[in-house]
Amino acid sequence: MILRRSCRCDRRRRTIPTKPKPGTLSLFPVREPPVSAKPGTAVRPRPKAGKPQSAEDHHPRQLSLIEPSSPVRPDRAVQLVPAVAEPVETAAVGSVEAPAERAARPARRQTAESLASRQREISVSEFFTKNRHLLGFDNPQKALLTAIKEAVDNSLDACEEAGLLPVLKVNIDQLAEDRFHISVEDNGPGIVKAQIPKIFGKLLYGSKFHTLKQARGQQGIGISAAGMYGLLTTGKSIAVTSRTGSGKPAHYYEIQIDTRKNTPQVITDKAVDWEPAHGTKVEIELVGTYKRGRHSVDDYIRQTAIANPHAEIFYDFPGGEGSIHFPRSSNVLPPAPRAIKPHPYGVELRVLIKMLKETTARRLDLALKRDFSRVSEIVAEKICEAADLRPSSNPHLIAVHEAERLYRAINSVKIMSPPTNCLSPIGEEQILAGLKKVIPASFFTAVSRSPAVYRGNPFLVEVGMAYGGSLPSEDLVDLFRFANRVPLQYQQSACAITKAVLSIDWRSYGLSQSKGALPTGPVVLFVHIASVWVPFTSESKEAIAAYPEIIRELRLALQDCGRRLATHIRAHRRAAEEEKKRSYIERYIPHIGIALREILGLARPAEEELVATLKEVLERSRSREPIE
The per-residue pLDDT for range 559-605, each reduced to its tens digit, is 999 999 999 988 877 777 777 777 767 777 787 878 877 887 778 88
Measured CA to CA in angstroms, residue 205 lies from 202, 221, 440 at distances of 6, 7, 42
Say whether both 564 and 579 belong to one domain. no
State residue 570's pLDDT score.
87
State residue 5's pLDDT score.
46
Contact residues for 580 (Cβ-Cβ < 8 A; gap 6+): none
Say whether both 147 and 228 belong to one domain. yes
Contact residues for 376 (Cβ-Cβ < 8 A; gap 6+): 369
State residue 88's pLDDT score.
46
State residue 569's pLDDT score.
87
Say whether both 292 and 181 belong to one domain. yes
CATH code of the domain containing 300:
3.30.565.10
Say whether both 150 and 238 belong to one domain. yes
CATH code of the domain containing 519:
3.30.230.10
Contact residues for 251 (Cβ-Cβ < 8 A; gap 6+): 193, 196, 241, 242, 243, 269, 270, 271, 272
Measured CA to CA in angstroms, residue 534 lies from 134, 352, 458, 546 at distances of 17, 21, 10, 11
Other CB atoms within 10 A of residue 89 CB: 11
Per-residue DSSP letter, 419: P
Query: Is there a domain that residue 131 lies in?
Result: yes
Say whether both 433 and 469 belong to one domain. yes
Say whether both 559 and 585 belong to one domain. no
Say whether both 525 and 585 belong to one domain. no
Query: How far from chain centre, in Å, is Cα 166?
Result: 29
Nearest Cα neighbor of 485 from 462, 458, 456, 451 is: 462
Residues 236-272: tens digit of each pLDDT? 999 999 999 888 999 999 999 888 888 889 999 999 9
Looking at the structure of the chain, the number of domains it has is 5
Query: Is there a domain that residue 15 lies in?
Result: yes
Query: How far from chain centre, in Å, is Cα 96?
Result: 61
Say whether both 558 and 584 belong to one domain. no
Query: Is there a domain that residue 333 lies in?
Result: no
Measured CA to CA in angstroms, residue 64 lies from 3, 4, 8, 81, 604 at distances of 8, 10, 21, 18, 163
Per-residue DSSP letter, 209: T
Query: Is there a domain that residue 311 lies in?
Result: yes
Residues 28-70: tens digit of each pLDDT? 454 555 544 444 444 455 555 444 454 444 444 554 444 444 4
Query: Is there a domain that residue 580 lies in?
Result: yes
State residue 77's pLDDT score.
46
Query: Is there a domain that residue 586 lies in?
Result: yes
C-alpha 96/C-alpha 19 separation (Å) is 7
C-alpha 451/C-alpha 428 separation (Å) is 14
State residue 609's pLDDT score.
82
H or E segment at 467? Answer: strand 457-467
State residue 20's pLDDT score.
52
C-alpha 242/C-alpha 254 separation (Å) is 12
Query: Is there a domain that residue 195 lies in?
Result: yes
Say whether both 516 and 619 belong to one domain. no
Query: Is there a domain that residue 120 lies in?
Result: no
Give SS3 for 240. strand
Measured CA to CA in angstroms, residue 230 lies from 98, 140, 143, 296 at distances of 60, 11, 9, 19
State residue 97's pLDDT score.
57
Q: Which domain holds residue 619?
A: 571-623
Say whether both 537 and 481 belong to one domain. yes
Among the candidates 524, 552, 569, a domain finishes at 569
Residues of the chain with pLDDT under 70: 1-108, 206-210, 218-220, 320-321, 584, 619-628
Say whether both 353 and 470 belong to one domain. no
Nearest Cα neighbor of 562 from 516, 513, 510 is: 510
Q: Say if residues 501 and 526 touch (Cβ distance below 8 Å).
A: no
State residue 348's pLDDT score.
87
Say whether both 92 and 166 belong to one domain. no
Q: Say if residues 447 and 428 touch (Cβ distance below 8 Å).
A: yes
C-alpha 542/C-alpha 546 separation (Å) is 13
